[in-house]
Amino acid sequence: MSFFGVDSIHTLLNRVQRDTGTAMRHLSSGKKTGYGDRSAEMGIAASLKAKISSLGAARENIRNARALYATLEDQAKQVTDILSRMSELAISAADSSKNQQDRVNIQQEFGALKDEIIRVSDGVNYNGLQRTTADAVAVWDNTDNRVHLSDTTGGIGTILQSRNQDLVMSHSARASNGLLYAFESSANGKIGDFILSKDGKSLLYVAQQTIASQSTFAGRSIMKLDLPTNTMTQINLDDGGGVAENDQTRLILDEEGRIWVGNPQATTGSDFRIDRLDLDTFTLVNETNDATTASGFNTFQIHKDRMYYMETVNVSGFQYVSQNISDLQDKQILLTHSTLDTVMGMDRGDTYAISKDGQFIAFEDETTATTGVDQELVVVNALERTFQKADVGEIGDKTNIVGLAFDNNNYLYWSDTGDTSARNALLRLRVSTENVGGIGQVKLGSVETIQNNKVGEVGAANQTTASANGMGFNIISRPDQNHVYRIGAHSSDVIELVGLNVNLVQLGISDIQIGEINQAIKAHTAIREGIESVSKQLARLGANASRLNFAEVQNMVYKDNLEAARSVLEDTDLARTATDLTQFQILEQTGIAVLAQANVQGQSILRLLQ
């Protein structure tokens, strides 16, 4: 045999030995990819394994979401049971055979059940997160230039975020599209009104800086910051209003998610035309037939199909009215000028707030400001024309309320600043109505301190700035009310689901009483509508749960398919590889034998040469 033939046999034997080693390695590891083996397949398999791992985590997200919705469904059923009992009480109170004392007794249970709905709305947390109310307390901290959020009891604080990072809005900061935020007037300066859209994706506020290069004007430009992208758009109002708090533009979010703007009609002493802000086109829509607030009264409310605001009467006077949004002829005068001014002590320019349902007005009676007597917080039931003065205590010298706001359960929040030292504590009390002798009297709960750890930081660096501002906090739509779940391996695999909202205003029962037959009849109708509201939410929760079930099944099928694809690329085919190993071992033994025979032939030739 020639040397070339022996060399060829040796090459083939080396190849067989290599293939034998590879087959043994594949069998022992269970993988057919590795160093030098199928590098392309190994890269693809690594990518598939990452997706498979993500799908496993996404499945856990789906299970957590189902657990959350099971909790919310139980709470919704509890509220339905409460409303059903309230409906029974309303029907009982509407019975003409009941005397006044009977209705008073029935009213006690009725009021207690409303309190229980508030407890459910305010108090139900899931994993430390408040999930049964649309309200959040938002406080501007001028020391770190961030909006701090908490639930309505003051706990579980977070910071408003954009693109998953804390949103810092100092006077020189810019959005990602290059526009200055103009959120505060200057370093440690004042801010304007601000709210979140109902879906929590947009922060809307009144600009406080004039920036000619971007056509932004202090007090006149409404800014819309898209939180997921940190990009801004803006729209300019008819005028910029005045400097005082009650001459500045206010933004209102109603229970249907519509946003309304007080559009100033003059630079000072402003009247405010009530316009709707269309978020999709970001334009102002005059849907109220030029309904305009009285000068110095910038706050208003929209509840269902009605507006509640102060309007001018007899040139210099004002009165509190309820008006149909689309019908100027459908107007009710709830409180006359003489009642508000002479009887209750309200003056133009007082710090004030209107409840979300329009039932209550709260204001600070500042007429005693120069006498050294504590200024008083007055709460008015506009439907019953009754009022109550609150003892809000004394902080520093005398209490100076610089901000007022109601939530959707008719809790009243305020920040107060002492005359000589800026405390800026955030406090609240419950406002309700109780039947006394057939008259709905204002009932005020005890004062609760919500926040007391940010001295001089609730929207203002000092008392002077706070008094000129009064907008350092607000009750806003919760940014996490809409729950976002990642249910797959891709960034687009997201489901956004709406949570449960069972506060009194949303249910339409915040202003109902049953102390009189006509009240009981009206209350029964409102309760039935409230039950319908909860039923719709229950149906939505059930639909959400069904969607999550299908998402989990699809997730599992997709994961199984990816696992099969990965296995084809990476896992050893044991039957085939074992067969190959046997073949390679036979070839290896044959090759060794052939080389041995070639060696014998070479030795025979050498003997002939001896």
Does 21 map to a domain?
Answer: no
In sign, the C-alpha dihedral spanning 447, 348, 294, 327 is positive
Q: Which pLDDT score, from 0 to 100, does residue 564 have?
A: 83
Residue 40 lies in a domain: no
pLDDT tens-digit series, residues 24-70: 776 666 676 666 666 677 778 778 888 888 888 888 888 888 888 88
Is the model more confident about 393 or about 276? 276
Answer yes or no: is 432 within a domain. Answer: yes
Residues 80 and 193 in one domain: no
Confidence of residue 457 (pLDDT cuts 50, 70, 90): very low
Q: Do residues 457 and 494 both lie within one domain?
A: no
On whether both 189 and 292 belong to a single domain, the answer is: yes
Instruction: Say how many domains are in the chain.
Output: 2
β-strand pairing of 352-354 with 331-335: unpaired
Q: What is the pLDDT of residues 254-269, one digit of tens each?
A: 988 899 999 888 765 5
Average pLDDT, the chain: 81
- Give SS3 for 25: helix
The pLDDT value recorded for residue 421 is: 47
Instruction: Note the pLDDT of residue 131.
Output: 65
Q: Where residue 393 sits, what CATH number does that domain have?
A: 2.120.10.30
Co-location of 429 and 521 in the same domain: no
Domain contains 288: yes
Where do we find the tokens 């049953």?
514
Q: Are the CB atoms for 442 and 390 separated by under 8 Å?
A: no
Q: Is the pLDDT of residue 134 over 90?
A: no
Q: Is the pLDDT of residue 589 over 90?
A: no
From 544, 563, 582, the end of a domain falls on 563
CB atoms within 10 A of CB 276: 19
Task: Identify which of 407, 426, 433, 416 has the alpha carbon closest to the alpha carbon of residue 355.
Answer: 407
Share of the chain above pLDDT 70, in %: 79
Residues 427 and 378 in one domain: yes
What end-to-end distance do the CA atoms of the chain give, in Å? 19
Residues 6+ apart with CB under 8 A from 96: 517
> Alpha-carbon distance 577 to 24, whole Å?
8
Please check whether residue 167 lies inside any domain of the structure: yes
- 367-381 burial, b for 16+ CB within 10 Å, e for fewer? eeeeeeebbbbbbbb
Q: How would residue 223 be classed by pLDDT, with cut points 50, 70 and 90?
A: very high
Q: In the listed set 480, 499, 527, which residue is the last one of a domain according to the structure?
A: 480
Lowest mean pLDDT among 83-97, 171-185, 210-224, 571-585: 571-585
Instruction: Measure the CA–CA gap between 208 and 171, rounded to whole angstroms.
Output: 9
Tell me if residue 87 falls in helix, strand or coil.
helix
Same domain for 383 and 531, yes or no, is no
- 3-state class percentages of the chain: helix first, strand second, coil last, to nearest 5: 35, 25, 35
Q: What is the pLDDT of residue 173?
A: 94
Which tops the pLDDT comparison, 592 or 332? Answer: 332
Helix (H) or strand (E) holding 518: helix 517-570
Range of the domain at 249: 144-480
Distance CA 395, CA 507 (A): 37
Instruction: Using pLDDT thresholds of 50, 70 and 90, give the confidence band for residue 420.
Output: very low
Contact 350, 376 (CB under 8 A): no
Domain of 105, CATH number, reads 1.20.1330.10
- pLDDT number for residue 423: 56
Residue 487 lies in a domain: yes
- In this structure, the answer to whether residues 212 and 286 fall within a common structural domain is yes
Is 341 inside a domain boundary?
yes
Question: Residues with Cβ < 8 Å from 395, sequence gap 6 or more?
Answer: 416, 417, 418, 423, 425
**pLDDT tens digits, residue range 159-211?**
888 888 999 999 899 999 999 999 988 877 788 889 999 888 899 999 999 99
Cβ(249)–Cβ(272) under 8 Å? yes
- In this structure, are 228 and 326 located in the same domain? yes
Claim to verify: residue 98 and residue 150 sit in the same structural domain: no
Are 313 and 319 a contacting pair, CB within 8 Å?
yes
Is the separation of the CB atoms in 251 and 270 below 8 Å?
Answer: no
Q: Domain for residue 218, yes or no? A: yes
Looking at the chain, the number of H-run helices and the number of E-run strands are 8, 31
Residue 393: pLDDT over 60: no
* CA–CA distance, 293 with 264 (Å, rounded to integer): 10
Q: How confident is the model at residue 369 (pLDDT cuts 50, 70, 90)?
A: very low
Q: Work out the average pLDDT over 140-146.
A: 81
pTM of the model: 0.80
Q: Which residues contact 41 (CB under 8 A, 6 or more apart)?
A: 32, 33, 569, 570
Please indicate, yes or no, whether residues 183 and 196 belong to a single structural domain of this protein: yes
pLDDT of residue 574: 67
Residue 8 has a CB neighbour count (10 Å cut-off) of: 12
- Residue pair 469/476 in contact (Cβ under 8 Å)? The answer is no
| Final residue belonging to a domain, choices 437, 453, 480 | 480
pLDDT tens figures, 506-557: 899 998 888 889 989 999 999 999 999 999 989 988 888 888 889 889 888 8
pLDDT grade, residue 422 (50/70/90)? very low
User: Whose CA is closest to 225, among 239, 211, 207, 208?
Assistant: 207
529 and 467 belong to one structural domain: no
In this structure, the answer to whether residues 328 and 299 fall within a common structural domain is: yes
pLDDT at 596: 74
